[in-house]
Amino acid sequence: MSETLTYWIVIIGILFVLLNVAALLIWVERRMLALWQDRLGPNRAGPLGLFIVLADTLKLFFKEDWTPPFADRNVFVMAPAVVVICVLLSFAVIPFAPNIQIVDLNIGLLFFLGMSSLGVYSIVLGGWASNNKYSLLGALRGASQMISYEVFMALSLMGVVMLTGSFSLHAIVEAQKNCWFILLQPVGFVIFFIAGIAETHRLPFDIPEAESELVAGFHSEYSGMKFGMFFIGEYLGITLISAITVALFFGGWLGPAFLPPIVWFIIKTTGFILFFILLRASLPRPRYDQLMEYGWKVLLPLSLLNLLVTGGIILLLNQP
Amino acid sequence: MISLIRSIWLTFLHLFHKKETIQYPEEKVQLKPRYRGRIVLTRDPDGGERCVGCYLCAAACPVDCIALQATENEEGRRYPEFFRINFSRCIFCGFCEEACPTYAIQLIPDFEMAEYVRQNLVYEKEDLLINSQGKYPGYNYYKVAGLDAGVKGKGEGENEEPPIDRHSLLP
């Protein structure tokens, strides 16, 4: 009984924190973007402008929730939910602290990869159901981007898996006690992070959205809370990729003992979230074909090479 | 790749730069003296209206926001009977100021004229007329005009000779 209760508390607590973090990121992103562009950003509503989160959420709730008459209604309504569900499910395997993890699957990493791949259905179905050429183009780009970046996202992580000998994220963090994997797998980290940006379709890889070319890409026809779902899904995606990067390469909750493990995890994750925003502030969007070329011709061979070298070194060191 | 990292780093450094934002209601913008804001009608040094109702401002106005009707007082001095500027149309181009031959109409550095009711943006003559000479102190059109309109007699102006009786020049 008490074990069930603990599970419930952990699940509800994580859900609560995550949704609040996603909402708070609205403010964080606007403030940080502004600071990096020599502006101040929203600072009027409430202390430091924090109430803009409230205002924005209320605005989304009260906007007209319009479904275009030419859209495929059922799919149109379902699509925004998919991205949020997939991302939230992925958080189930993230080890926030030694005792705060919803489920420690022995295939945790594969579960994460699977869930983040399912997220692409949201884009494809949303763009397809909108029955709008811009949405369709966005969905098309989203699909091909996700598929091509999915490949070496997984491949770049295999080095970590080889070093740990397990797919369990808890075990992966534990294995970094002596040395964070960023030092052993720097190439893997860079490739994974680039793929992660593409996976969350954030700038500079936001070509499914590409507001300067495709109106708003796959969510051109969405309004109200359905758009809000895509919005929250994106911020949750950032948090997810940041958290998983921390868990895989930056020692998760590990850190000097003067702070509790969860605080270390949060600090590291926040750093990566801010880096995501910094990327948005600094880099231009590549052309669609450039993105594909970069993925297949540079990152895929590089991740394969990384895999080969890592495997070779492990074999060499483990020789009797 | 190096250039990408460099641009990320340079963007990051902007965190510590001075911010461009002016926190407007608390912190005012420093406007230049020749800033083109609200339109006013100025007066000459004697306190009379400078405007002579020549309609040049209304003709120059690209958005037709100026309306006026000229009239004369009993001494023959022209002045506008009404002078109306619709600021919801005005684009603050300053063409009226350039067109004005008597320096009457001027644009001043003031832009805080927002209203809740659109009709309140239509300024009448009493709203436009100010008790000041504006940018050209000391200028009095009727002192230099060759016309007697109660300000000075004919030929008594600043750059004027007294009128000559042409009949006396006859051989």
Q: Which residues pair with B78 in a beta bridge?
A: B72
Q: In b/e form, how buried is each residue of A262-282, taking b as 16+ CB within 10 angstroms?
A: eebbbebbeebbebbbbbbbb
Any chain B CB within 8 A of the CB of A279? yes
Q: Do A37 and B17 touch (CB under 8 A)?
A: no
| pLDDT at A313 > cutoff 80 | yes
pLDDT at A1: 57
Three-state SS for A290? helix
CATH code of B36's domain: 3.30.70.3270
Cα–Cα distance between A84 and A315 in angstroms, integer? 41
| pLDDT at A249 > cutoff 90 | no
pTM of the model: 0.77
The first and second tokens of residue B82, run together, are 């009404």
Could you tell me which residue, A105 or B107, shows the higher pLDDT?
Answer: B107
pLDDT at B56: 92
A 10 A CB-CB count for A254 gives 18
How many distinct structural domains can be found in chain B? 1
Chain B interface, best mutation among A28, A48, A278, A302, by max B CB count within 10 A: A278
| Mean confidence (pLDDT) of chain A | 83
Any chain A CB within 8 A of the CB of B5? no
Rounded alpha-carbon distances, angstroms, from residue A215 to A132, A134, A212, A219, B5: 11, 7, 6, 9, 29
Q: Do A281 and B20 touch (CB under 8 A)?
A: no
Pairing of the two strands B66-72 and B78-86: antiparallel
Reported as a single tens digit per residue, the pLDDT across B13-28 is: 888 888 888 888 888 8
What's the DSSP call for residue A299?
Answer: I
Is B100 among the annotated ligand-binding positions? yes
Chain A closest CA to B93's CA: distance in Å?
29
Q: Is residue B7 part of a domain?
A: no
Across B27-90, the runs of DSSP E, i.e. the strands, are: 39-41, 66-72, 78-86
Is B90 among the annotated ligand-binding positions? yes
Cα–Cα distance between A119 and A84 in angstroms, integer? 8
Q: Which one of A40, A282, A283 has the shortest CB-CB distance to B19? A: A40
User: What spatial distance separates the first Cα and last Cα of chain B, rounded to whole Å?
Assistant: 97
| Domain limits for position B46 | 29-138
Please say whether the beta carbons of A142 and A290 come within 8 A.
Answer: no
Any chain A CB within 8 A of the CB of B11? yes
Q: Which one of B15, B18, B20 has the shortest CB-CB distance to A36? A: B15
Cα–Cα distance between B105 and A23 in angstroms, integer? 53
Reported as a single tens digit per residue, the pLDDT across B5-61 is: 888 888 888 888 888 888 888 888 888 888 998 999 999 888 888 889 899 999 999
pLDDT at B61: 92
Set of chain A residues whose Cβ sits within 8 Å of the Cβ of B11: 36, 278, 281-282
Cα–Cα distance between A258 and A268 in angstroms, integer? 15
Cα–Cα distance between A188 and A84 in angstroms, integer? 27
The C-alpha R_g of chain A, in whole angstroms, comes to 20
A 10 A CB-CB count for A259 gives 12
pLDDT at B63: 93
How many CA within 13 A on the CB side of residue A132? Answer: 20
Chain B interface, best mutation among A36, A272, A275, by max B CB count within 10 A: A36
pLDDT at A109: 86
Could you tell me which residue, B79 or A211, shows the higher pLDDT?
Answer: B79
Set of chain A residues whose Cβ sits within 8 Å of the Cβ of B23: 40
Q: Which residues pair with A100 in a beta bridge?
A: A97
Q: Do A283 and B19 touch (CB under 8 A)?
A: no
Is B65 among the annotated ligand-binding positions? no
Q: Do A38 and B14 touch (CB under 8 A)?
A: yes
Q: Give the residue on B whose Cα is nearest the Cα of A285.
A: B4
Any chain B CB within 8 A of the CB of A6? no
Q: Is residue B65 part of a domain?
A: yes
Mean pLDDT calculated for residue range B73-97: 90
| pLDDT at B79 > cutoff 80 | yes
| pLDDT at B71 > cutoff 60 | yes
What's the DSSP call for residue A297?
Answer: I
pLDDT at A320: 65
The widest CA-to-CA distance across chain A, in whole angstroms, is: 69
Cα–Cα distance between A166 and A160 in angstroms, integer? 9
Q: Do A282 and B10 touch (CB under 8 A)?
A: yes
Look-up: residue for tokens 């990493």? A109
Q: Find the angle CA(A294)-CA(A295)-CA(A297) to the nearest 5 degrees.
A: 65
Q: What stretch of H or E contains B70? A: strand B66-72
Reported as a single tens digit per residue, the pLDDT across B120-154 is: 999 998 888 888 888 888 888 888 877 777 777 77
Any chain A CB within 8 A of the CB of B2? no
Chain A closest CA to B147's CA: distance in Å?
58
Return the closest-CA partner of residue A202 out of A136, A130, A283, A103. A283
Tell me the residue type at A73: R
Reported as a single tens digit per residue, the pLDDT across A288-306 is: 888 888 888 888 888 889 8
Q: Is residue B34 part of a domain?
A: yes
How many distinct structural domains can be found in chain A? 1
| Domain limits for position A58 | 2-317
Pairing of the two strands B122-123 and B78-86: antiparallel
Reported as a single tens digit per residue, the pLDDT across A134-175 is: 888 888 888 888 888 888 888 888 888 888 888 888 888 888
